[in-house]
Amino acid sequence: MKPSLAATIAMAALTTTTTTTSAAAFAETEKFDRSAVGALPAGWLSGVTGRGSPRWQVIADPSAPSAPNVLNQSGVGSFPWAVRQGVVLLDGYVETRFKSISGKEDQAGGVVWRFKDASTYYVARANANEDNVSLYYTTMGIRSTIKYVNAPVPRNVWHTLRVEFEGRKIRVLLDGKTYIAAEDEHIKEAGSVGVWTKADSVTSFDNFGFGGR
């Protein structure tokens, strides 16, 4: 018999290294420092929504918030993504430190949640080319905009992107400031969490964290 969603979340909490907080039943942060350089971290899955050949791998970066390693995307694709396997969240938060390094078409770094597959998930991203923060839902492989807000996103600087979600409520924060508070119900099911880029963005990620109630 298929386990209930509550049982699945409880099992995920027990099988990962967690820290209990007043705001979450469990919380976890991955720093990539124990992952092998040159490969995708263990327990992660990567791919692309649309077309392309993304290249996700752990690399060394002495500037990282938690040196020495980061997760880096240096390939090209419509919307490259990498998600944590074995995580099922309906309500909670996801956050990451990210650094936009380069990209002629785009310089984006984002997080995904309620990720079902390459065709269905929410994504919030900050863009150093456009100096803005935006919120989208992706269904049937098509990305649709919920909201854009102007925000400073200097390149080659580490930023913190955080999303808090509960029911249809979504809050997007960049460097501790709330830029988007919205409601949406296109994706109501629990799903995984991860990171995201766009086009030819070369972006690094560190201190990837998530939690759920």
Question: In the prediction, which pLDDT does 6 show?
Answer: 40
Give me the domain span that covers residue 79.
5-212
Note the pLDDT tens digit of each residue in 116-166: 999 999 999 999 999 999 999 999 999 999 999 999 999 999 999 999 999
Report the C-alpha gap between 80 and 206 in whole angstroms.
17
Which ranges of the chain have pLDDT less than 50?
1-24
- pTM of the predicted structure, to 2 decimals: 0.88
Q: What is the pLDDT of residue 21?
A: 35
What pLDDT is recorded for position 124? 98
Q: For residue 165, report the phi and psi dihedrals to the nearest 5 degrees.
A: -140, 135
Percent of the chain with pLDDT over 70: 89
CATH code assigned at 123: 2.60.120.560
- Say how many domains are in the chain: 1
Predicted local distance difference test score (pLDDT) of residue 23: 44
The three-state secondary structure class of 8 is helix
